[in-house]
C-alpha cells in the first residue's frame, strides 16, 4: 500500500502505521523519527532541525523535502510506504506530487485520522517514547505502560517524555497543525484521495483502511 496518514499530533498516525506495516511489508516513513534520529546523532540536519522541533514549530520545507526525495528512492519503498508526518504543509504536498509523478508512483489513498481535541491533549501529555532512535516505540503511562516502568519492552532502553511534549510545546504543535497541516484535508479532498476516519481506537482506523483498500 502507498498511503499518506494525516492527523493532529497524538491522533495515532505512528501506531496505525506500525500496524499496517505488519500486514504487507510496506515501510513506515516518519519524518519525526528521522529528525529525532538526526538530532540525537548530532548530524548537520539534526543541528538545523533541533530548535524548531523543541519549540513545536515545523522544520523548514526545504530540509524535509531533501530528506523525502532521497528516502522515497530507497529500495524498501518498492514494497509500499506509509507516510507518517509528511506532508505537513501545502508546499510539501505539492512537492510530493511532483516527486511521485517523477518516480511513476501512484498513491492509494490519503487517510485523515480525526480525533477530538480533548482526547489528543490527554494522549500527548501521557505519551512516552523509547529513547533509542532505532526503536522509538510509543507507550502511554495510563493506557499502555511498559511492563517495567521507564524501560522499553522491545529494546530495554529508557522510555522518556519527548522534549516537545511539555504543555507549552504541545499547544504550539496543535496550533501549528491547525494553521499549516489541516488545510491538506481540503487539498486531498479536491483530488478525491481522502478517507476520513473518525475514531479513537487504532484498530478501528486500521479496519477502515483495510476495507477501503479491499473495496
Positions annotated as catalytic residues are 13, 88, 127, 162, 173
Contact call for residue 15 and ligand ADP (CB under 6 A): no
Nearest position to ligand ADP, beta carbon: 32
Pick between residue 64 and residue 194 the one whose CB is nearest to ligand ADP: 64
**75 grid coordinates:** 529500495
Q: Show the CA angle centred on residue 188, arms to residues 100 and 20, nearest 5°.
A: 70
Among 84, 39, 89, 42, smallest CA distance to 61 is for 89
The CB-of-159 to ligand ADP minimum distance in angstroms stands at 16
- Of 1, 17, 53, 209, the one binding ligand ADP by CB under 6 A: 53
Instruction: Classify the phi-psi angles of 87: left when phi > 0, otherwise alpha if psi is within -120 to 50, otherwise beta.
Output: beta
Contact criterion met (CB below 8 Å) for 187 and 181? no
Name the DSSP class of 178. Answer: I
Q: How far apart are CA 47 and CA 27, in angstroms?
A: 26
Among 81, 136, 122, smallest CA distance to 103 is for 81
Contact call for residue 12 and ligand ADP (CB under 6 A): no
Residues 148 to 207: which contact ligand ADP by CB under 6 A?
A: 164, 173
Instruction: Please report the beta strands in 7-135, taking only residues with DSSP state E, as ranges in sequence order.
Output: 27-30, 81-84, 109-114, 127-130
Pick between residue 64 and residue 208 the one whose CB is nearest to ligand ADP: 64
Contact call for residue 85 and ligand ADP (CB under 6 A): yes
Radius of gyration of the chain (CA): 16
Contact call for residue 81 and ligand ADP (CB under 6 A): no
Q: Which stretch binds ligand ADP (CB under 6 A): 29-37, 93-101, 191-199, 204-212?
A: 29-37
The CB-of-10 to ligand ADP minimum distance in angstroms stands at 6
Q: Which stretch binds ligand ADP (CB under 6 A): 48-56, 97-105, 183-191, 201-209?
A: 48-56
The CB-of-214 to ligand ADP minimum distance in angstroms stands at 27
Report the DSSP beta bridge partners of residue 144.
140
93 CB burial (10 A radius; 0-12, 13-18, 19+):
buried
Pick between residue 128 and residue 173 the one whose CB is nearest to ligand ADP: 173
Contact call for residue 59 and ligand ADP (CB under 6 A): yes
Contact call for residue 88 and ligand ADP (CB under 6 A): yes
The residue ranges that bind ligand ADP (CB under 6 A) are: 9, 31-32, 35, 52-53, 56-59, 64, 85-86, 88, 92, 164, 173
Amino acid at each position: 500500500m502507498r498511503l499518506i496518514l494525516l492527523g493532529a499530533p497524538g491522533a495515532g498516525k505512528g501506531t496505525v502505521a506500525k500496524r499496517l506495516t505488519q500486514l504487507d511489508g510496506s515501510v513506515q516513513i516518519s519524518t519525526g523519527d528521522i529528525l529525532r534520529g538526526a538530532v540525537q546523532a548530532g548530524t548537520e540536519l539534526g543541528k538545523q532541525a533541533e530548535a524548531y522541533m523543541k519549540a513545536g514549530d515545523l522544520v523548514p520545507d526545504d530540509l524535509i523535502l531533501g530528506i523525502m526525495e532521497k528516502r522515497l528512492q530507497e529500495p524498501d519503498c518498492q514494497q509500499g510506504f506509509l507516510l507518517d508526518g509528511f506532508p505537513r504543509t501545502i508546499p510539501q504536498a505539492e512537492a510530493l506530487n511532483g516527486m511521485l509523478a517523477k518516480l511513476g508512483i501512484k498513491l492509494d489513498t490519503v487517510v485523515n485520522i480525526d480525533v477530538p481535541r480533548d482526547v489528543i491533549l490527554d494522549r500527548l501529555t501521557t505519551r512516552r517514547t523509547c529513547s533509542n532512535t532505532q526503536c522509538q516505540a510509543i507507550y502511554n503511562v495510563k493506557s499502555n505502560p511498559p511492563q517495567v516502568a521507564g524501560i522499553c519492552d522491545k529494546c530495554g532502553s529508557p522510555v522518556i517524555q519527548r522534549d516537545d511534549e511539555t504543555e507549552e510545546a504541545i499547544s504550539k504543535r496543535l496550533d501549528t497543525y491547525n494553521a499549516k497541516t489541516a488545510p491538506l484535508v481540503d487539498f486531498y479532498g479536491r483530488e478525491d484521495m481522502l478517507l476520513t476516519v473518525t475514531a479513537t481506537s487504532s484498530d478501528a482506523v486500521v479496519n477502515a483502511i483495510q476495507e477501503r483498500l479491499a473495496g
